[in-house]
Amino acid sequence: MKKSIGAVVLLVTAFLYAGCGQPTPQPPPVITKPPQVVTPVPPPPKPEWQQKWDATLAEAKKEGKLNVYALWGQEPRAALSQAFRDKYGIDVEFTSFARGSEMLAKVQTENRAGLNIADVFGSGGGTFISAMKPAGVLGNIKSLLFLPEVVDPKMWRGGKLTFSDKDGTTIPMVASAQRFMIYNTNLVQKGELTAYEDALKPQYKGKISLNDPRVTGSGSNLFSHLALNIWNVEKTRDFLTRVVRDQQAEIIRDNRLQVEVIAKGKHSIGLGARVATQAEFLDAGAPIAQVQTDEVYSSHADGVLGIPTKSAHPNATIIFVNWLLSKEGQAVFVKSTLNPSLRLDAPTEGINPIFFTRPEEKLYPDSEEDIIFRGKFIVEMKGIIAEAEKGK
């Protein structure tokens, strides 16, 4: 029995000894990779124009305001001021004028006093080319333009950014078709009038209102258009003489009154009628219509932009001019003036169709040469009318 117990003990001991002799299995080693170092990639540099824009805008915000002298009405003044202030935090203060001559007189008075108050001018091409440019008060607006969507010729009608003059002092923003001959639809049948010469027919004697061509406006625009683009100077002189002397046209200087006498039936035909005034009466349902001709004069109206030789707030001026010529700025301008923009991407909603040209029409845009000729021809028309009135 003792031998049996001893054998068992010896056997257990041997077993335990054999177990203790085996190595204890170890978990596989954990291999730790060194952390990866990620080098940040710097953002690409801003394009040169963007750097210039940011720097100019920063300085413009320090200037804090902008002074605009313009012939624009209350609606575009309010709309532009609000939109520009909302976008850039820069105030726009407008000084409004009824005529370009008044604006020029104010600028000249300020300049003589050594003052530079205005930053931007808004007027018609005639005011700029025939008065303000010769007076030496215009700077070069072309040099301020650098926003890509502004200088891109593909964004503009005709495939180019147009300037009113060869020196780049002013730039037109809008262009509206000028059809200068209208009639009362209750008194004249459609198709009776197809050309300007039709106003000389005997049945229209004493039934014509003529927008005064002796002053700057749509009347003088009509006759310079006839002399330069449709006929010639001699035929235009003869036509004006016969309209005044033989047809005894009533010469009216007030744009609204000249269209009103047609709408009310006092006269049958209106020559030189201002298109913006026509639109007002058409929108009100007046019985008037335009005579459709194939050759159309395109006016920039009062939608021409200029700058002085020295701006009071030069950086704000640069921002405002580029913004106003952008798609966003033109959207604000055309919506408030209801004139078609020269920008191809500007909206057209709400603009009266009479301002647009038709594909079959030949377009004669306003030019520096036209404006200079018009100023000289106005003087001549004063003499023509004076002579014609003697022969009534």
pLDDT at residue 5 tops 90: no
Q: Which domains does the chain have, with CATH numbers?
A: 49-175+301-357 (3.40.190.10), 180-292+371-390 (3.40.190.10)
Average pLDDT in the 248-267 region? 97
DSSP secondary-structure letter at 130? I
Contacts of 219 (CB under 8 A, 6+ apart): 210, 211, 212, 213, 271, 272
Q: Which of 12-16, 186-190, 203-207, 286-290 has the lowest mean pLDDT?
A: 12-16
Contacts of 371 (CB under 8 A, 6+ apart): 125, 126, 129, 130, 164
- How does pLDDT run across 143-173, given as a tens digit for each residue? 999 999 999 999 998 899 989 888 989 999 9
pLDDT value for 9: 41
Q: How far apart are CA 334 and CA 232, in angstroms?
A: 34
Q: How far apart are CA 267 and CA 213, in angstroms?
A: 18
- How does pLDDT run across 71-103, given as a tens digit for each residue? 999 999 999 999 999 999 999 999 999 888 899
pLDDT band at 216 (very low <50, low <70, confident <90, very high): confident
Among 134, 140, 137, 136, CA closest to 117 = 137
Average pLDDT in the 53-78 region? 96
Average pLDDT in the 256-279 region? 96
- How does pLDDT run across 181-211, given as a tens digit for each residue? 999 999 999 999 999 999 999 999 999 999 9
Mean pLDDT, rounded, of the chain: 90
Average pLDDT in the 5-11 region? 44
Residue with tokens 């963007």: 50
More confident call, 6 vs 220? 220
Return the percentage of the chain with pLDDT > 90, whole number: 74
pLDDT band at 18 (very low <50, low <70, confident <90, very high): very low
pLDDT at residue 21 tops 90: no
